Copies of this chain bind each other. A is one copy, B any other.
Amino acid sequence: MDPMTELEKGPTGRRRGRGARERILSASQRLFREQGINRTGMDQLCAAAEVSKRTAYQHFPSKDELVAEYLRRFDPSVLPGVFDRTDLTPRERLLAAFDIPPTTPLCPYIAAAVELHDPRHPASQYARDYKKAVAARLADTAREAGAADPEQLGEQLALLIDGAAARTRVLDADAFPTAAAIAAVLIDNAIPAAAGDDRRREEVSS
């Protein structure tokens, strides 16, 4: 469900205390998603993390930096459990990216980019990096699936995911099925030989 809930110990690795940093970031993840970044005050966040405010500001120099770190932690696990599914063909893996449980509120990067509203915000850079990483992973998989122009297909599929996320948020109704339908069309159009059911099944042991 939640990608990365508790990894990465402390800044240095010593860990003497009781792990306040983890609780802070964990609470950030929950509250920022539920309420948004701007609507979550540091007081509330510290209370939820069961951490004194002073401790929070000893771990993070400012809220902006905390937000940046909150976004940065997603990076290593780009769409976890989708690209690593070896039981699926590349084509199925591309489509699996659209099988998103309706509980997911909104891509936190889109939310952050809109809420922070400043492209130079430290967190905005991480948002761009993540978006590019997703597109790159999709492109890799597209290449694996034999797409004619994998980069283009990856970018297109990434756009579909973002569109579905945004539209789901505004309309308060799941838009991912629509996006998946478009994706299927694009994938079939981009893969020259095979269409419909993927017939080329190359066992790429990785």
List, in ascending order, chain B residues with CB within 8 A of A161's CB: 163
Is A127 in contact with B170, judged by CB distance below 8 angstroms?
yes
A178 and B157 alpha carbons, distance in the complex (Å)? 10
A135 to chain B, nearest CB (A): 9
Q: A103 an interface residue at 8 Å Cβ cutoff?
A: no
B-facing mask of A167-206, CB < 8 A → 1, else 0?
1011110010011011001100100000000000000011
Interface presence of A145 (CB below 8 A): no
Residues of B within 8 A of A170 (CB): 109-110, 113, 127-128, 131, 162
Does A169 lie within 8 Å of B128, measured CB to CB?
no
CB 8 Å contact bits of A95-139 with B (1 = contact, 0 = none):
000000000001001110111010100001001100110000000
Chain B residues, Cβ within 8 Å of A113 = 169-170
Tell me the complex Cα distance, A156–B181, Å: 9
Report A100 CB to chain B, min CB distance, Å: 14
A66 at the interface (CB under 8 A from B): no
Closest Cβ of chain B: how far from A102's Cβ, in Å? 14
Contact A152–B205 (Cβ < 8 Å): yes
A160 at the interface (CB under 8 A from B): yes
A interface residues with partner B (beta carbon < 8 Å)? 35-36, 38-39, 106, 109-111, 113-115, 117, 119, 124, 127-128, 131-132, 152, 155-156, 158-167, 169-172, 175, 178-179, 181-182, 185-186, 189, 205-206
